[in-house]
Amino acid sequence: MDGFLLTYDGFDPRTEGLREALTSTGNGYLCTRGAAEWEDADGVHYPGTYAHGGYNRETTMMGGLPVLNEDLVNLPNWLVLQVRVEGEDAIRFDDVELLGYRHEYDIRHATVLRRLRFRDHAGRETTLTSRRFVSMADAHHAGIEWTLVPENWSGHVEVISALDSRVTNSGVPRYRQLEGRHLNPVSPRTFGPEVIALKAETRQSNIYISQATRTRVFQGGEQLPATRTLYQMEDYIQQVLAFDVRQGEATRVEKMVAFYTSRDPAVSDTLVRAARSAARHSDFAGASERHGAAWDELWRTCDVGASGNEQVQLLLRLHIAHLLQVCSPHTADLDAGMPARGLNGEAYRGHVFWDEMYAFPFLSVRLPEVARGLLMYRYRRIGEARAAAREAGFRGAMFPWQSGSEGVEETQRVHLNPLSGRWEPDLSRNQRHVNAAIFFNIWNYFQATSDYAFLESYGAEMMLDIARFWASIAHFNSARERYEIHGVMGPDEFHEKYPGAQQGGLRNNAYTNVMVAWLCDIAAKLPSLLSASSAEGLRARLGIGDDELALWQDMSRRMFVPFDSGGIISQFEGWDELEELDWDAYRAKYENIQRLDRILRAEGDDPDRYKIAKQADTVMLFFLFSDEELREIFERLGYDYGSDTAARNIAYYDQRTSHGSTLSFVTHAGVLAALDPESSWERFLVALRSDVDDIQGGTTQEGIHMGVMAGTLEVVQRYYAGTQIRDGVLYFTPRLPSGLDGLSFPLQFRETPLLVTLGGGQLTVAVHPDGASHPIRAGIPGDVRELCPGDRAVFGLA
């Protein structure tokens, strides 16, 4: 095993959807599920292609009420490649006897391969090998190569190469009652004898999508002059290439495809542009070579070497590949956010949530231009965030819990409980902590890059307007002499409101209030970090006076944090009045209790009654901040923070958390790294395998979980290697788990490329000789050194 190959032997219809999601091919511009080219969407197979920003809104009438949803659109299916032998029906899995089948995913170059031997109804035995990639070298290109070998026959073959826009969004069963048609046909066209093209338009957002393909057949290295027959409708076009094959001799089919949308720069007519691009496309071998070289370059920047466990190494690289398929250098200028389920499924409708904060630490020190681009997605929507705050009676910028094309709130008002079959109110838009996450991402991007240009032009404006929002949603309780925040939810989505309450939201969610205390401290000091002219201009533009800066400073010292009688931080005010759940009884009754909320509601009960958490909420504080940072925050607030505060709180909530979100395993793996290394490693392995094993029972086939994939990389980087940036210093406090012998990874700190190696009781930091000219400061606590290009520092570890 070379650490870069995911393999499946044998075809299994029950897991095909999962395999399609895990073997998707993408390049940060678009992504296509790893579906077989010869299969249609049918309940087993689901070919889907998605591009950043390709959203469309549709309304469904439900019970006489209009339900509006914006979806990331399933784009026309460009994969269609089918074979007919001697005029019979096109070959499908269901119609042949499989003699051998292997489905591989080359992680190194994001290439999906299928090798199958089959016997058809006439007893003909054939080997078909399929290779496919979406080009990382050219964002608009993709290619498929088939190698067809008739084993015991010779005869006449037809290959069907098509583009199909008769697709819908139907990949998530619980959404199927909602409108899934998002495309209107525009036109099919041919360009010369070889190129066919198809143009469609999203029904509401009016985005044009065009695809064009050139299909050729080769035998013995020579192109065959195959007979071509055309068939087209307004939403479908195909070319049939007819030729003869001989027993034992290989025939190659190449389908080279080009994609353009009306969101792309430097494009007049997307159809003509795609056709011209497809006609100019090099052959499969040349395009594949350039694609591979582009991936090799990315791996030099982004690989994480983990020695001592081949399976861990493989899955870390799988997660890196998926992150780069969604957020590559091609993404930087696209006006793209990071959809929580990537670009290879329709769960969460392709919306952007808070869990991008799990990906920023990896991207900021490897592909800072991509991290900057994701932050610009937020900045371009600050107008909608300000409007949302105003309409809710607040000031500043209130970013949405679910964001799509325009940055308005896309969260549904109702959602379907698949256990009860009932539509229930969705109050999750009250998770205002997304605003704190955006502030956190901007600040930590700046710490990693020292990108003053971004901070002065965009970042500081967002941060100050987010602080202003929190100051306006908070109110001062004179009896406590503390600031409080009411009517919000924390990350734990089991608690949307108080038991029996009509109104959604909770009082004083601890995670939210502590985050606000932290960010208000930074916001109050932020103008002093900018140049005098930038600070003056920004304060004038936003109307920020000294009184507002003083208010933020006061909030940083006097936010209210609830505690129970035993000194445990209460997840929210009133938590200690809730009932304890009989966890053993529910574990005995149900095979999987991760989604306790759905179980309880299906039983006619209410999760709001109990001291239960879906995922890490209060514990998130111990994940995002070091012990030293939290001690500073709590002491500034006037609360005790003892040597056992972290351990006691983490243990308390660990016993009351169902881990209904895979993110929760990431968080607990991180916070337990120093407290309970073995338990940390167990949680890490669950998180690492959560998508490849589909531990939530069918959700991964609807789109991989970007947060948990990126989160596993963050646990390795932040907790096992101990990487942290503080006060301009790159610190390492390694806690290598017993399951690993060593770690090695490149990163870039403030324009300076480094290689970090951990193992054998020592840490080595090597600065690339061709890096930035300025020195950096890096080391372990108590031993910080100044390093220049070419320097190599070795630190002994206790």
Of residues 493, 496, 548, 714, which has the active-site annotation?
A: 493
Tell me if residue 456 is catalytic.
no
Decide: 704 and 342 in contact? Cβ < 8 Å: yes
Q: Are 636 and 555 in contact (CB under 8 A)?
A: no
Contact 49, 31 (CB under 8 A): yes
In angstroms, what CA-CA distances link 773 with 727, 729, 767, 794?
20, 17, 11, 21
Task: Find all residues with CB under 8 Å of 293, minimum gap 6, and list them.
Answer: 137
Q: 613: which DSSP letter?
A: B
Q: How many CA atoms lie within 13 A of 281 on its CB side?
A: 35
Buried-state track 320-358, b at ≥16 Cβ within 10 A, e below 16: bbbbbbbbbbbbbebebbbbbbbbbbbbbbbbbbbbbbb
Residue 534: name the closest of 449, 444, 436, 459 by CA. Answer: 459
Q: Are 205 and 187 in contact (CB under 8 A)?
A: no
Contact 417, 601 (CB under 8 A): yes
Cα–Cα distance between 699 and 348 in angstroms, integer?
A: 11
267: phi then psi, degrees, rounded to nearest 5: -130, 130
Beta strands (DSSP E) in 278-406 are 305-307
- Is residue 25 a contact partner of residue 133, using CB atoms and an 8 Å limit? yes
- E strand or H helix at 100, and its extent? strand 97-106
Judge residue 737's burial from the number of C-beta atoms within 10 Å of its C-beta, 0-12 exposed, 13-18 middle, 19 or more buried. buried
Q: How many residues does the chain have?
A: 798
Contacts of 308 (CB under 8 A, 6+ apart): 739, 740, 741, 742
Antiparallel, parallel or unpaired: β 729-732 and 776-780: parallel
Distance CA 667, CA 616 (A): 7
Catalytic positions: 493
